[in-house]
Structure 1
Amino acid sequence: MPHIIVKVAAGKTEEEKTRLTEDITRDVMKVFHLGQDAVSVAIEEIQQADWMDTVYKTDILPHWDTLYKKPGYGPDTIKNA
């Protein structure tokens, strides 16, 4: 029963969030051979100025070895770091 939490920079439209949710749900169903009812998706919008403290330092860095897709940015390359 996958529950996916997507954290994105604030300012995404409802259309973008809906499309992303639909795409994620479809792909999870396909890869894991699940029905739609088994998948849930949450989207959390984070202010860009807060990204380093609330996402990078808490969700990314401490779990670096378990990330299947690592970001191409870091504290020195992101605005407002």
Structure 2
Amino acid sequence: MPHVIVKLWPGKTEDQKTKLAEAITREVTQILGNGEASVSVSFEEVESSRWQEDVYLPDIAAQPDRLYKKPGYEM
């Protein structure tokens, strides 16, 4: 615990995904106080043509109460 799922368009390199997984792990351990061994990160590539149907509608539009960073807004 915790497990972080990153959904993104295909095309990112293995190096980019590795660096992002390392950054996510670093921040999770620092903020939540978990040990690094308890954190897992996965990537789910979703084609841009399927983004609306497979990600935006079910994960973003249908569950706004779960969003801590909404698309289109800077933090």
Q: TM-score, normalization: structure 1? A: 0.86
Quote the residue 1:46 is aligned against: 46
Answering whether residue 16 of structure 2 is matched by residue 16 of structure 1, we say yes
Quote the residue 1:3 is aligned against: 3
> What is the aligned-residue identity percentage?
51
Q: Give 1:25 deviation, angstroms.
A: 0.3
Aligned-residue CA RMSD (Å)? 1.2
Q: Give 1:66 deviation, angstroms.
A: 2.0
Q: Which runs of 4+ in 1 moved over 3 A?
A: none
1:65 match: secondary structure = helix
Quote the residue 1:28 is aligned against: 28
Q: TM-score, normalization: structure 2? A: 0.92
Equivalent-residue separation in structure 1 for 2:18 and 2:63 (angstroms): 27
Q: Give 1:65 deviation, angstroms.
A: 2.0
Give the letter for the 1:59 counterpart: D
Please tell me whether Structure 1 or Structure 2 has the larger radius of gyration of its CA atoms. Answer: 1
Quote the residue 1:78 is aligned against: none
**Structure 1 stretches lacking a partner, 5+ long:** 74-81
Equivalent-residue separation in structure 1 for 2:57 and 2:63 (angstroms): 10
